[in-house]
Structure 1
Amino acid sequence: MRKSDSGTTTRPASGRHPAGLRRHFAFGLRHATVHGLGEAGAAGDLDRLRSLLHPGVAVVVDRGEPDGSEVRVVRGPYDAAEVLAHGLAAGPGVVVQERAVNSRPGLMVVDSGTPVAALAVDFTGALISLVWVRMHPAPLRHGVTV
């Protein structure tokens, strides 16, 4: 709340609390970054992918095996961009969809109508710092958890 020239208390013009505006802006920025990730990956644009990634980025690829034996981690923007470009590459029947994953902006790779990978994305500031890729996301049929 703030005081106007007449001495009365008024709400900010937007009707939102400044902290709420920051969260709203951050969500929009993250959504736009995830959108860019999907586009750049599908196009194989390594330079654009790298521009979205934090220098300490990690990509975790979980093949979906129950024992967790097929989990691989790639670190750094150069290797991460290569893995993401490969995984998000467009092809016949392959579509990258923007989807909420774990209640955050994420991506789903669908091949001929079947989900083949879900990507959950975490951020450090405005840059992507972690991408968790779950292959064969059968648990996602009715939900959005990875």
Structure 2
Amino acid sequence: MTIRSKSAGLSERRQLINLAYRLLGSLADAEDVVQETYARWYAMSPQQREAIESPGGWLTKVAGRICLDLLGSARARRERYVGEWIPEPLPDRTEWISGRPGGGTADPADRVTLDESVNMAFLVVLESMTPAERVAFILHDVFRYSFAEVAEIVGRTPAACRKLASSARRRIRDSQTPATPAAQRADLVRAFKQAWQAGDIHALIGLLDPDATATGDGGGHATAVLHPVQGAEQIARFFADRAGETPNVEIVERTVNGQPGLVAQLDGVTVSVLAFDIADNRIKHIWAILNPNKLRPWTTS
């Protein structure tokens, strides 16, 4: 069943998934938000639905408000999270592996549009924002909603929403590094993979920014360091020391949130996804997601 037509309904659903994922950093939570949004739509009478001039606008408003509420409660949940919390990684749609029982391609998760607003560095900065900042910024700067429309969702004046988006924009700007060409990024990630597999500490140090940071997310469901590893030498030793611990692990190059990354597989099952932030031809940040609950899109059923 759709809103007005099948094509419109599919387009709206994709839009809501794209919005909710960027707001929450979790594909599972985004899917729950979309399901709840449609449940509220169909809980209304046909007459009530017909009276809504813009169904798509209504759905966005409801999804945005649900996300805003979830972002508020997420802060408390993440204080209880075991170790560091990293946003859920997304594969490229051409590399999608079934994450659903029965073998079908997951829907609509494989339709999340991969662009600069979902790269891991961007999502990590979003995590530092207040819920209102994040919602105002994503709705206005990424999805191009007017501040009057944003105000209806956030529950503040358009002027206040403008200030929220401006504050969020400063956070993004302060954290941004000069863009590195995709081919150069891929070469660096490939070189890191080769040095990691060889356990070559000196080669790893040469690829890392002196002040690099490596963060793992096991969520209490997989072994991961509880705090970020700081510094090129410490990170190099950390990865080199683990190179020979699990010889059956295969490291493959994959697109992670639209950028070159690595995936560790054991007997064909994804056990870790690594995302990278690169600046001045050096790796500045590594995010390793090991929590199996966040690897659903990468893992066979």
Q: Judge same fold: TM > 0.5, yes or no.
A: yes
1:117 lines up with 2:272 in the alignment: yes
Deviation of 1:87 (Å): 4.2
Aligned to 2:215: 60
1:52-91 alignment to 2 at 5 Å? 52-65=207-220, 71-89=226-244, 91=246
Amino-acid identity (%):
29
The verdict on how the C-alpha distance between 1:86 and 1:53 changes in structure 2, with shifts beyond 3 A counting, is same
Give the secondary-structure state (helix, strand or coil) at the position aligned to 2:271: strand
Deviation of 1:139 (Å): 2.7
Give the one of 255, 258, 266 matched to 1:103: 258
User: Cα deviation per residue 1:11-67 (whole Å; 9 max; x = unaligned)?
Assistant: xxxxxxxxxxxx99711011000001111001101111000000110011111338x
Partner amino acid for 1:52? L
Q: What is the root-mean-square deviation of aligned Cα atoms in Å?
A: 2.7
Question: In 2, distance between residues paired with 1:25 and 1:58?
Answer: 18
Deviation of 1:122 (Å): 0.3
User: As a proportion of its length, which structure holds more strand?
Assistant: 1
Structure 2, gaps ≥5 residues long: 1-177
Deviation of 1:114 (Å): 1.4
1:1-146 alignment to 2 at 5 Å? 26-65=181-220, 71-89=226-244, 91-142=246-297
Question: In 1, distance between residues paired with 2:260 and 2:282?
Answer: 13
Contact persistence 1:30–1:105 (CA under 8 A): yes
Partner amino acid for 2:273? A
Count how many residue pairs are aligned between Structure 1 and Structure 2. 120
Give the secondary-structure state (helix, strand or coil) at the position aligned to 1:72: coil
Normalised TM-score (structure 1): 0.71
Contact persistence 1:62–1:72 (CA under 8 A): no
Structure 1, gaps ≥5 residues long: 1-22
Give the secondary-structure state (helix, strand or coil) at the position aligned to 1:115: strand
Give the secondary-structure state (helix, strand or coil) at the position aligned to 2:227: strand
Normalised TM-score (structure 2): 0.36
Structure number with bigger Rg: 2
